[in-house]
Amino acid sequence: MINKTSYCIFVFTCVFILFSCKDHKDLYEKNLNLYKDLVNDLNTYFLDTNNTSINLSKYFSEDFVFSFYPVGYKKGLTIDKDEYIDSVLVMKKNNFIFNIVHSIYLPGLDEQTYNIDGSVRVYYGAILTNDSINIEFSAYQTVNYVDGKINGIWEWADYSGIQQQMLN
């Protein structure tokens, strides 16, 4: 027979787990919506030929990093917030159009506990266009957040394949 103290501890633990899962799901949904807003702003910026400015800073923490993994760099390369924003502006200035056409989103997990931690995992398909060249490609991203802002993006895509297509 279960005593009253054990029963209370059991109920408290179940309620605690239930509410902490909801908190992480809410955090994930909030972070996901921020990411979707970023994608929408990027797509609008690139697709509207009259649009010459974009405010990306509002999405990123001050210590934001973007890491990517081109051929020959097994540990990847990392750029900071200013370099990332500059790269977007340079693409637009050089008449590139970058359009994310579909995305699959999944909640990220804490590496130690395997609990949903509010981060976002993204599989996306995009089209990169310059002049008459259209390159379709897919990428995978992990997106981490700190205090409601994107703190880091790690992206895997076939960058050398994209570059090769641009040169042909």
Domain boundaries, the chain: 4-167
Nearest Cα residue to 140 out of 69, 41, 53, 86: 69
Q: Which CATH number fits domain 4-167: 3.10.450.50, 3.60.10.10, 3.40.50.300, 1.25.40.10?
A: 3.10.450.50
- Per residue in 146-161, pLDDT tens? 999 999 999 999 988 9
Q: Would you say residue 1 has pLDDT above 80?
A: no
The token duo for 44 is 């609008």
Q: What is the mean pLDDT of residues 116-130?
A: 96
What does the DSSP assignment read for 116-165? EEEEEEEEEEEEEEETTEEEEEEEEEEEEEETTEEEEEEEEE-HHHHHHH
Q: CA-CA distance, 31 to 83, in Å (whole number)?
A: 23
Higher pLDDT, 167 or 149: 149
Lowest mean pLDDT among 5-19, 53-67, 131-145: 5-19
Q: pLDDT-based confidence at 2, cuts 50/70/90?
A: low
> For residue 20, what pLDDT is reported?
47
> For residue 18, what pLDDT is reported?
40
Q: What is the mean pLDDT of residues 1-15?
A: 56
SS3 of residue 114 by DSSP: coil
